[in-house]
Amino acid sequence: MADRRVKKRVRFLSLVGLATLLIAACERPDPRLESMIGLEPAPPSRSRIEELRDLIDEYGEVVGQKVDAGIRQADALKLLAQEYMRQQLYGQAFDVLQEAIIAQPENHVLHYLAGASAGVIGKSQSDLALQEEFYGRAERSYRRAIEIEPNYTDALYGLAVLYAFETNEPLNAIEPLERILDRNDAHIPSLFVLARSHAALGSLDEAVAAYDRIIEASPDREERERAERNRTLLLGGTS
């Protein structure tokens, strides 16, 4: 009888001990999760450091190859888009550029080329809704290129041309043109668009001043003669 009571006592204590261990295990976080729940993890061992170094060496070359392949793919897409544009296949160029931008979203040249393509597509549309849609895409693409590279002349000029010639917003064209001319006061294409924009707004003095700058700065005789003709017409003379 005494032996039976002893056995029950031992079994009871064993169960209590097991329960205590289970509770402690539940309260103690898995060490693999310590860094994820805000607890300070133990410093990595020397063997773990060596293990990670070996892993980096093993896969580093593969990772580098994949990165290089991604860069080459984006460059190839850009070249393909430029070739499409040279062939005046602007729809195909725009589609290819969207794919390239996914690969390199911070590439300002890709956004500029997308803007140029969208602008030409918009100009060719007889459906006014489609035209407005593509002009909007062109504007957003140019502006994104400028956000990435604020002094990117091609994108600033493309945006100004879009406003001055396509969307009939000459006032909006002036700011990007002035940004170009602040850095290069003899950028002749910008001066022509600036003169046209001022003339469209009725600011004839400013338009004449822009033509005067072309006449003074351009080394090209045909450009100077064109500026002189336009200046004369603004002043009420004959070409």
pLDDT digits (tens, 9 = 90+) for 172-206: 999 999 999 999 999 999 999 999 999 999 999 99
Looking at residue 31, its pLDDT comes to 47
- The conformational region for residue 108 under phi > 0 = left, psi -120 to 50 = alpha, else beta, is alpha
Q: Are 234 and 209 in contact (CB under 8 A)?
A: no
Share of the chain above pLDDT 70, in %: 76
Whether the predicted pLDDT of 156 surpasses 60: yes
* Least confident range of 38-42, 151-155, 226-230: 38-42
CA-CA distances (angstroms) from residue 222 to 96, 185, 198, 201, 215?
Answer: 37, 19, 22, 26, 10
Higher per-residue pLDDT: 30 or 154: 154
Whether the predicted pLDDT of 4 surpasses 60: no
pLDDT digits (tens, 9 = 90+) for 98-152: 999 999 999 999 999 999 999 999 999 999 999 999 999 999 999 999 999 999 9
- Residue boundaries of the structural domains of the chain: 63-150, 151-239
Looking at residue 19, its pLDDT comes to 46
Looking at residue 23, its pLDDT comes to 42
Q: The domain 63-150 belongs to what CATH superfamily?
A: Tetratricopeptide repeat domain (1.25.40.10)
Looking at residue 10, its pLDDT comes to 46
Looking at residue 32, its pLDDT comes to 39
Concatenate the DSSP letters of all residues of 52-97 into one string. Answer: HHHHHHHHHHHHHHHHHHHHHHHHHHHHHHHHHHHTT-HHHHHHHH
Count the Cβ atoms, other than its own, within 10 Å of residue 4: 8
Token pair for 198:
């001022």
Looking at residue 151, its pLDDT comes to 96
Q: Whole-prediction pTM value?
A: 0.73
Under the banding of pLDDT at 50, 70 and 90, the label for residue 43 is low
Q: Are 63-150 and 151-239 equal in CATH topology?
A: yes
Higher per-residue pLDDT: 41 or 219: 219
Instruction: Please name which of 132, 196, 134 lies closest in space to residue 160, comparing C-alpha atoms.
Output: 196
Identify the architecture of domain 151-239 in CATH.
Alpha Horseshoe (1.25)
Instruction: Please name which of 81, 70, 56 lies closest in space to residue 103, comparing C-alpha atoms.
Output: 70
